Structure 1
């Protein structure tokens, strides 16, 4: 049940996040649908490729595709004044990151993969779609800037990979904690150290 719930939450959050970024970039209707779908399913596709699973499994999620398409259609039909108040796409991005980080970790753990693989699965499932979205929207991926983002997905993978959580309630708690940490770090403008040739 946790798997299915997080899958739906992550898909809805990321498809709306992708749609908002597409609107911000002034893409047409087709661009909104494509960017929304890529954001929602891109991370899972990359994860499958990296851990040796058939990529075709992504296309077998018919129900999630229908949910994503319906959600984006409803979103597009909403009045502009309402959508304007939702333009802070980072909230949906944080929800998608948290849901898919936990789901990705659960996926790798169910295959008895080592800790590093679980952490990688959590991070790429949680952040992969957002990376592809930002690249297609000609934005600098937030994952690779100083903002604290990917670290929280890795933390979720570590906690789950260490078998510190086992029940459904505990998994939901991990999801809530990762979401809270992401929102707090964004609100407080926490930054990771950077190192570049422009350092003074």
Structure 2
């Protein structure tokens, strides 16, 4: 069989299609990475598997980064697919080796503006918090400690009167008081 090079055509996809596919693949990869960090903690999973597997994981991460940085979109698509496989393999291997996923203790409280404040023990626990489409801010215990230390008046009151509670307050100015409450003039 002979091949006619004069009439041959290279089958290519438009660059715009490749970019759209690449962006969708990146979103799926990012969602998987967040899922793994919620399960295992931030940057913890590669440390739970043998060193050789960890090195291969980071090598694949670098390949994805380089393909994206260099604008090699078709290669990036391929490398993103391999990175998804790498995340899943590390997850399975950590499970097989008996590694314990993080178990975050999360305390939630709704603030006056409707935002949820989630208080957690450490960074790993913070990565496992899923806001579930809520307006949420995550605070580490050490951050809460700094906030308390930054309020010496509250600290002094709590020390002087054990059991005292911090309640919402409002500032009353002369203008707002008289406007809301009127005055005692008889007319």
Please confirm whether the aligned pair reaches a TM-score higher than 0.5, indicating the same fold: no
Q: Decide which structure has greater helix share.
A: 1
Q: Which has the larger radius of gyration?
A: 2
Q: TM-score scaled by structure 2?
A: 0.28
